[in-house]
Amino acid sequence: MPNHHDVGGLPAGPIDRHEHRFNSFERHIDALCLMMCSPPVKKVAVEELRRAKEEMFDGPFLKANYYQRWAIGLRAVLVEKGVLGEAEIDARIAALKTGRS
């Protein structure tokens, strides 16, 4: 098992204690993950999200921040479980981009 997430006791520097207000994306992805993991929806276990994030510790994941990683993890689990298709997610993202530009 990749163990990059298992950091207890490793050497580390000072703790950055800046506070920040959660933006719209962060609140939305948080809410979406919680809904998918909680009754009555409960299509996903929080353990699956954790496992997905632990397995993907490379590429874009390394550059992603905390909530961006949630988005990557949720996408992986939804596709893996057949709740959503890879292609339909990509198509929707493309459509949203076109709509925005």
Partner 1 sequence: MSAQSKFALGARVRVRSDDPPHHHRTPRFTRGQVGTVARQHGVMPLPEDLAYGRTSGQGAPIYRVHFRQKDLWPDYAGPDGDIVSADLHEHWLEPAP
Partner 2 sequence: MSHPHDHDHDHDGDHAPPKDEGAGDYALLEQAMRELLIEKGVITADGVRRMIERLDEASPATGARIVARAWTDPAFKKALLDDAGSALSAFGFGPMGKFIALENTPDTHNVIVCTLCSCYPRFVLGFPPDWYKSTAYRSRVVREPRAVLQEFGLDLPDSTRVVVSDSTAEIRYMVVPMRPRGTEGMSEPDLAALVHRDALIGTAVVAPPSP
Q: List residues binding partner 2 (CB under 8 A).
A: 5-25, 27-32, 34-36, 41, 43, 50, 60, 62-68, 71-72, 74-75, 78, 83-84, 88-89, 92-93, 96-97
Residue in the structure block whose two tokens are 């990683």:
69
Determine which helix (DSSP H) or strand (DSSP E) holds 75, and give its type and residue range. helix 66-80
Q: Give Cβ neighbours of residue 32 (< 8 Å, ≥ 6 apart).
A: 74
The one segment of 4-12, 16-24, 27-35, 59-67 that binds partner 1 by CB under 8 A: 4-12
Contact 46, 32 (CB under 8 A): no
Binds 32: which of partner 1, partner 2, none (CB < 5-8 Å by kind): partner 2
Partner whose footprint covers residue 88, from partner 1, partner 2, none (CB < 5 to 8 Å by kind): partner 2
Residue 35's region, left for phi above 0, alpha for psi from -120 to 50, else beta, is alpha
Contact in structure between 44 and 78 (CB atoms under 8 Å): yes
**Which of the residues 56 through 85 are near partner 1 (CB under 8 A)?**
81
**Contact positions toward partner 1, by CB under 8 A?**
1, 3, 6, 8-9, 45-48, 50-51, 54, 81
